[in-house]
Structure formats: C-alpha cells, structure tokens
Structure 1
Amino acid sequence: MLQDGQEILEGRFQIVKKLGSGAFGEIYKVEKKKTKQFYAAKIEKAAKNQRNPMLFWESKLIHKMRGKTCVPGLYYIGTDTSVANMQFHVMVMDLLGPSLEDLFQSCKRNFDLKTVLMIAIQLVRRIEKVHEERIIHRDIKPDNFLIGGSDATRDNIYIIDFGLAKCYKNSDGEHIPYKDGKNLTGTARYASIATHKGIEQSRRDDLETIGHVLLYLIKGQLPWQ
C-alpha cells in the first residue's frame, strides 16, 4: 500500500518499513520526524462512502482500555489525505517487539514447560483486563500477542488487533443474547468449538482459544492441524 520512506500525516511521520497485516489493515514501523522516535502505524485504505471505518472502532476499544498494561498506547487516530490520490485511516501506537509466534519460530518451535506457564499467566491476566471493559477479542492467536518493545517492558505481553472485537454487554450491563447460525469470526485453527458450531462468541470462547494457543506452544502443533 505504502512505500518505505513515504511521508504520511502531512509529513509528520515517515514510513520505515512494513511490519505485517492485521484483520483490517497493514502495520508499518514509522518515525516521527520531529522527535526521531519510532511508532507503529496501522493503516487502512479509506473506502468510498464508508460510514464506520473498522480502524476507528478498533481505536475506540483501545482507548477504552487506556492505562491498562494489556494494550499498546494510542497516540493518534484520524484520516490522512496528504498522500496524492489516496485517502487512509491511520492509527499510531506504541512500537512493540516480536509476537509470540515470532519468538516460537526463533526458538525452533520449542518452548519448555516453565516458559509456557509464564506465558499462560500473562495471557489469562491480559484477557481478564479486556473482559473487564466488556470487550471480547474474538481473534486470539500467537500473532496477536506481542512482547514489549523496550528494556522496561520486554517481559510484558500485549494484545493487539482488535479489528474483530466486540462488546459482550450493552450500556445497561445486559449480556448479548445467545445466537446460533453465525459465520466463523477469528482464526479457524485456534477458534473454540462453539465458534466452529456457529454459536455467538463470549468470554468463554476467548478463554478456550487461549487454551488452544497454549497447547500449540507446548506441543508444537495442534491435533487438528
């Protein structure tokens, strides 16, 4: 979508390199030209007559969890019209380190039991913080858990990519109703049994999916791969 060295947000940031892709956008490492600091920018091409951009929904959920250790800091959300003949929605966040999947691959897909147990404690605590805000993630997988990007945070795990997340309670505190016949939302490999059956997701499905992730990390693969 964008090239290395390209400037965005009226020249305030410069693309360093593409880091990957999320549910509804591409992620880039960017440099703030004024301070020379690095950030992560999730960029979504603006669709014509788009009323509710997914990136704005994701930023709303991250903002709701601001101050919690489970998500990266959010610095900017808006629409960039400074690139010729293009329009993008841009969300600028903390630049984090590698994902659990990246670490798993670099360790030749071999984590010992102690490592997996330490990861398990953080994953459960992180998703608990998300659920406290009436949010379910719905796309739990090793790629969506990142290690902190600085010496002070490198022992912390953060959750990213809330593009498929939703609220499981309304403003009155009422839980969403049971539904079936739903299409699968998330990543099939790690999804819960109920999700595969087309049942509306809730907190239980995030927790079951974490269990599948931990099984993957301790065994190297899942039985159904």
Structure 2
Amino acid sequence: MAPRKTATAKSGSKGAAATKSGSKGAPKKRVAANGFKLPDPIAPGVVVKDVAKQNWKIGKSIGVGGFGEIYLASSNTEVPVDSGADYVIKVEPHSNGPLFAEMHCYMRLARPEHIEGWMKEKRLKRLGMPKFFGSGSFEYNNHKYRFMVMERFGNDLQKILEHHSKRLSFKTVYQVGIQILDVLEYIHSKEYVHADIKASNLLVGHKPGTENQVFLVDFGLARYYANEGCHKEYKYDQRKAHDGTIEFTSRDAHIGAHSRRGDLEILGYNMTQWLCSRLPWEDNLQDCNYVFAQKRKCMENISAFVSQCFPDTVPQGLQEYLEYVVSLAFDEKPDYEHCRNILREGLRARGYRDDGKLVFTSATPVPPSRKPKSRQGRKKTFKRRSEEEENLGDAKKQSEHKDLSKDIHVGNQSEQTMPDGLFFR
C-alpha cells in the first residue's frame, strides 16, 4: 500500500514540494474577485487532523469560493477519496478570516446532535440545516490553513435557475419556501439570523433520499440578533449597512440592523424573483441607497409591488406572506407556522399537494377554477405527463384570510440619522 500524504508542520519538505507540478519558481498567488487570497491547490490524498483528533483525507477540488476552496473528503484515510464521497472540506488561508467566523457559527448551530434533537422535538422528518463534522488547522507547502468538514450536497438552486430561464415552478418555489422557514425557525431559536438567503446558498441534497430536500448553507454573514434573550436595538450602523446580497438584503440590514423579520423578508424577495425572474430594483444594483429606497416603496404598497412583478396573475399567498412580514415589529418573534400555512394554502389553491417534492420542470399547473377530472372510467392512454402534473391534487376553495395589513412597528426606538435621509420605520 502506498504511504499516505499527511499535512503536518513538516509538509513543506520533500513530499509536499513534489506537488508543485515540476515548477522551479514559487507558485503564483491566487486571489478571489473580492480580494481574498485563495489557498494554493491541495494535492488529493493529503490527510488532515481536526481538533477532535479525527483524520480526514482530502480528495479532488469541486469548487472555489470568495475566500477558499472546497474539496471532496472522506473519514476513511486508507483508500483514495472517490467521486461519491459524502463529505467536503472547506479550506482557506489562515490570514483570511471569513471561514473562522463561519466555523464558529456552525459549531454552535450545526452539530448533528443539536439538529437531530430539534427535529425530534418539532416532529420533523427532515431539516435543511447542514451538519458540521469537524474543523482545525494544518500546514501545507509552508503555508498555514484552516479547514472545516461538512456534509456534501448537490447542485445549488442558482445553477438550476439558470437552466430554467431564471424561473422555478410555482410548486417548487413554495415547497422551498416552506423548507427554508423550517431552517430559519431553528437558527432563530439559537439567536442567530442567516442574513444571506439566496439561490446560490440553497443546495439540493446529495445523499439518496434527499433529492427533494434543500439545505441553507454559507453562514459567513450569520450573526447574533440577540444576547441571552435580549434583542439588539434598532439603529443605524454604518459598518454593517447594506450587508448581504444587494438584490435580497432586508430593509433592516440596509441600515446595519439584523432581525428575524429580516430573514423572512429576504426569503420573500427570493420567492418573488424565482417566480417572475426579476425584481424592480435590479436595474441599478450598484447604488445601495437606491435599492433600499425602492424596497421601502414596494413594501409600503405590496399590492402594487406584486402587481408590477406579476401583471397577469399574482401567485396565491405571496402578497399575504409579504404583508405578514411587514406587520412584524423589529424585535418580534415571527409565527413560522402561520407563514408555512400561507404557502401551503397557496399550493392547495393552485391544485397542488404539500408533498414536499421539488419539480424542476416548466409544467403548467391546473388553474384553481378547474378541478382535475377523475380518471375513473377513462380509457387508458400512454401520453406521458410531467412529474409536476402527477403531483396535482384536487383544487380546493380557498378560505378567506384575516387582513394582516397593519402599520410597521419598530418598538420605541428613536429615528436614526441615515445617508441621504433614508430611514425605514
């Protein structure tokens, strides 16, 4: 059996030097678009040890992010890491820092026993919270790196969107929304907000049986919204203003404040974009204050906002969801089940069952006014139907909901000075 490659303080010697592909000079430094230094390529077969003394073997690279690189990994160090590996390792230079913050967040939120305990308490069959398996530091080619071991996932929703004309089916958007509300309820219970929900941070499961499960990843911008039950105050913080991804950042985050309602608002913007392909403020994303002002305008008149995005037919339940988000006070705990029920009722009104299945097709659902005809007594045909059509249930009459429109509350905080006079109440 060939000897293992092990990353240690001595890995810059003979064995590690051989990974420079025969180059006589020092390898050129790799830098991401955001300016962070990327790690030099790690040779497949290197073994690293986490703080719990668990060994992990690194496989091939499967992606490069804004501050590090992601490799396949295995806990079995005796054989090469194959393409079916169930783990990945995120690696960044020790001098960077983003992975350090994310790593500590995962340590508090993503331990398997914590996730499984929550699922048992809430009687959930699944939860799209990624699991954390280990972390540590190592030296390779005389450079120091930190790493984190996570479970492996499949494609992200952004890639799927790009293959479907930047839109997802109504059913899939609402099923994903329900799943993400489950995850938000979990992380909010730990006094964290995610703050960067978007399609590229939503990954479909890799393991068999998780094909219809979406996982919320990348907690690099996650932060505490409270400390031991005491919510942070609503105030302008220039250092954190406009944090997140500008298209989806919540109005709270635009002023540097973070809240649970902010995460729900970000999810609402995502669902809107996935259904109509473009948000009204995407014409000038370089101007953060313009985007903020447009969001304030749209959320002050949600009926006009959804009509602008959907001139033909407004998706059932979307307006009600956004109105509920607007009704929340800055420090108020959301009613997650109410939000899920809004989306479930939207599915039922369009003739779908809440079966949790994700359907990445362009199939057209049965309109709510047309009840699918019974197949009983019908002559059997061999016309192939899409999976989405197979999941259609009986369209049911939608019950009237209470008007949730109310004034926006932010507690008793005084107004804060904002750039260009912008202030969200």
TM-score grouping bracket, smaller chain normalisation: 0.7 to 0.9
Q: Distance in 1 between matches of 2:212 and 2:180?
A: 12
User: In structure 2, which of residues 67, 71, 78 is the aligned counterpart of residue 28 of structure 1?
Assistant: 71
1:53–1:150: structure 2 CA closer, same or farther, 3 Å change rule?
A: closer
1:3 is aligned to 2:31: no
How do 1:1-225 and structure 2 match up within 5 A?
Answer: 1-3=39-41, 5-6=43-44, 7-9=46-48, 12-21=56-65, 24-32=67-75, 33-34=77-78, 36=81, 37-47=85-95, 53-63=100-110, 65-67=114-116, 69-81=127-139, 83-171=140-228, 173-182=229-238, 183-196=241-254, 198-225=255-282
- 2:251 counterpart letter in structure 1: I
Bigger Cα displacement from structure 2, 179-188 vs 57-66: 57-66
Aligned counterparts of 1:98 and 1:14: Cα–Cα separation in 2: 20
Alpha carbons 1:8, 1:80 under 8 Å: kept: no
| Alpha-carbon distance in 2 for matches of 1:112, 1:53 | 37
Counterpart AA for 1:190: F
Report the secondary structure of 2:211's partner residue.
coil
Q: CA deviation at 1:66?
A: 3.5
Shift of 1:58: 3.0
Map Cα deviations across residues 22-48 of structure 1 (whole Å, 9 max, x no partner): 5x5333333444364341111121029
Q: Counterpart of 2:137 in structure 1: which amino acid?
A: T
Which amino acid is 2:275 matched to? Answer: I
Matches of 1:97 and 1:42 in 2, distance apart? 15
| Structure 2 residues not aligned, in runs of 5+ | 1-38, 50-54, 120-126, 283-425
TM, length-normalised to structure 2: 0.48
Amino acid at match of 2:232: I
Amino acid at match of 1:40: V
Structure 1, 203-212 or 37-46: larger mean CA deviation = 37-46
Contact 1:55–1:90 under 8 Å retained in 2: no
Q: What secondary structure sits across from 2:87 in the alignment?
A: strand
The separation in 1 between residues aligned to 2:170 and 2:69, in whole angstroms, is 34
| Cα distance in 1, alignment partners of residues 56 and 108 from structure 2 | 25
Asked if the contact 1:59–1:77 (Cα under 8 Å) also holds between the matched residues in 2, the reply is: no
SS of aligned partner of 2:153: coil
Normalised by the length of structure 1, the TM-score is 0.86
Partners of 2:61 and 2:69 within 8 A in 1: no
State whether residues 99 and 145 of structure 1, in contact with CA within 8 Å, keep that contact through their aligned partners in structure 2.
Answer: yes
**Number of aligned residues:** 219
Which 10-residue stretch deviates more, 84-93 or 101-110?
Answer: 101-110
Distance in 2, matches of 1:16 and 1:120, equals 33
Decide which structure has greater helix share: 2
RMSD in angstroms over aligned alpha carbons?
2.4
Structure possessing the higher relative contact order (Cα contacts under 8 Å, 6 or more residues apart): 1
When residues 177 and 34 of structure 1 are mapped into structure 2, their CA distance, relative to the original with a 3 A threshold, is farther
Distance 1:206 1:161 in 2: 14
Amino acid at match of 1:19: G
Task: Give the gaps of 5 or more residues in structure 1.
Answer: none
Indicate the structure with greater strand content: 1
Q: Aligned partners of 1:8, 1:55: CA distance in 2, in Å?
A: 22
The amino acid that maps onto 1:25 is: G
**Aligned residues of 1:70 and 1:129 also touching (Cα < 8 A):** no
Shift of 1:55: 4.0
The structure number with the bigger radius of gyration is: 2
Q: Identity of counterpart residues, as a percentage?
A: 26
